[in-house]
Structure formats: C-alpha cells, structure tokens
Amino acid sequence: MAEDNEPPDSKLTRTKEKWAREGRFLTGKITRPEDQRLPPGQHQTKDWPVLDLGVVPPISRERWRLDVYGAIENPVFWTFAEFAAQKRARFISDIHCVTTWSRYDNEWEGLATRELLAACQPRPDARFVVLHSHDGYTTNLALDDFAAEDALLAHSWSGEPLSAEHGGPVRLVVPHLYFWKSAKWVQSIEFLTEDAPGFWEVRGYHNRGDPWAEQRYSGD
Ligand SMILES: Nc1nc2c(c(=O)[nH]1)N[C@H]1C(S)=C(S)[C@@H](COP(=O)(O)O)O[C@H]1N2
Ligand SMILES: [Mo]
C-alpha cells in the first residue's frame, strides 16, 4: 500500500508549480455561478481527463476502509459495505479543473458529506477538514465548503462503480471548488481546529479555489 509513502515527484507536478508562479490561464474576470455556468478561463470538454500524481493505488472495495478522526465526537471507521449501507445521495454536477477544462452533468452516487457530518458530529471548534489519500495526496477545505449541499463521497459515476483511474473505490466531489479539492482514493478524513494546507496548496495553488473568482493560485 502507498499510504505512508511520500507523494511522487513528477514532471507534471513541476510544470503545475511553474504555472502557479506565472499565473497561467488567469483572465482577471470574476463571475457568479448563477449568471454564468462556465467559470472564467474555462472551456467545456466532453471526455473526462485523468489527472493525478501518476500512481493509481490498487485498493479494492473489499480492502477499502474509511477512517474519520480528529475534532469530532464520534470517530467513524467503516468498511466499504458499511459506507455503502448509509443513506445514498445522487447528485448531478459540473467539474471545473484548474488546468481549464470543465465537464458538465456528472452523475454521482455516494454519501453526502452532510450525512457524514451527522454521523461523526464535529466538535464546535472544528473548522477545517483534510482529506488523506492512498497515493500520499492531501487537500484541505474549510468545514463550510466540505459541508456544501451538493458535496459527496462518491462511489459511483453514471450508475457504474467509480473507476480506479478516477479515484475508486471512493473519492470526494466538491462541485463549487476547483477539482483538485476533490480527493481521489480517499483513505481518511481529518477534522481540525487550525487549517493545514495540502499537496497543491503548499505548491502555489489557492487555499480555497473558487472557480468563479478564479482562485487558481495563492495570492489570487
Ligand atoms: N488522491 C488524489 N486525488 C486527486 C489528485 C491526486 O493527484 N491524487 N489530483 C487532483 C486533481 S489536480 C484533479 S484535476 C482531479 C482529477 O480527477 P480525475 O482524474 O478524475 O479527472 O483529482 C484531484 N484529486
Ligand atoms: Mo487539477
């Protein structure tokens, strides 16, 4: 298993760090999702590109566990069967990747993050969430963003089990933020009282990542 390994250093990682330094793709426009479905600087794609650190961790549904811990009242440790037996959400949403592609109308099924919060009961001082993935990737979100009404831990896409290349058995989907916040191959979810920037957030990418405000890079 790759979970204790350092994330791989790749040419793509170095290219994306360079884009952050140069402010690549920035248009300087700010729009709102109500007025404009496609965020500034994005273009629509019909296919679904694969983007990650280059390692697909081989985690079957049988071996997968969800470990939820930190500033919560009820730590959760579920097998895939226990996870899948929770109340099922089905959401349709758009993907916006910071590398400028957007893909409309993705059908996801899984557990709404709000249901997870109801189960694990964050303490009053919990304000941030960090996702830890089996490839060594991490990403951080404000608890309010994690709790968005259309955010979910997805195990299915278009009615089929989520493929390994797209983050199966289970990935996060947070449609209102750039897609790097949507961690693939979720291993554990940590609740924190202080923020803890993740893999891209310490490599020049924005701490929040609102596509309509073009929060691509830190300092935008
Ligand atoms: N575990 C993990 N999750 C990840 C990544 C990653 O490298 N590892 N890459 C992020 C980035 S930068 C993007 S754009 C999306 C890509 O998801 P996709 O390959 O399903 O399109 O996954 C995000 N989640
Ligand atoms: Mo990305």
Query: Where in the chain are the domains?
Result: 64-213
Ion ligand 2 contact residues with beta carbon within 5 A = 51, 97, 180
Query: What pLDDT, on a 0 to 100 scale, did the predictor assign at position 162?
Result: 98
> pLDDT grade, residue 5 (50/70/90)?
low
The average pLDDT across 47-53 equals 95
Is the domain spanning 64-213 CATH 1.10.10.10? The answer is no
> pLDDT grade, residue 4 (50/70/90)?
low
Q: What mean pLDDT, rounded, does the chain reach?
A: 95
Spell out the residues 6+ positions from residue 134 whose beta carbon is closer than 8 angstroms to its own.
1, 2, 3, 57, 59, 185, 187
The average pLDDT across 195-199 equals 98
The answer on pLDDT for 27 being more than 80 is: yes
> pLDDT grade, residue 3 (50/70/90)?
very low
Query: What pLDDT, on a 0 to 100 scale, did the predictor assign at position 101?
Result: 98
Helices (H), 123-180: 143-146
**pLDDT, greater one: 143 or 2:** 143
DSSP for 80-130 reads: HHHHHTSPPEEEEEEEE-TTSEEEEEEEEEEEEHHHHHHHH-B-TT--EEE
The DSSP call for residue 11 is H
* Interval 143-192: pLDDT, tens: 999 999 999 999 999 999 999 999 999 999 999 999 999 999 999 999 99
Protein residue closest via CA to atom 7 of ligand 1: 52
The average pLDDT across 104-117 equals 98
Radius of gyration of the chain (CA): 16
Q: Which atom of ligand 1 is nearest to the CA of 52?
A: 7
> pLDDT grade, residue 9 (50/70/90)?
confident
Find the 86 Cα to ligand 2 centroid distance in Å.
29
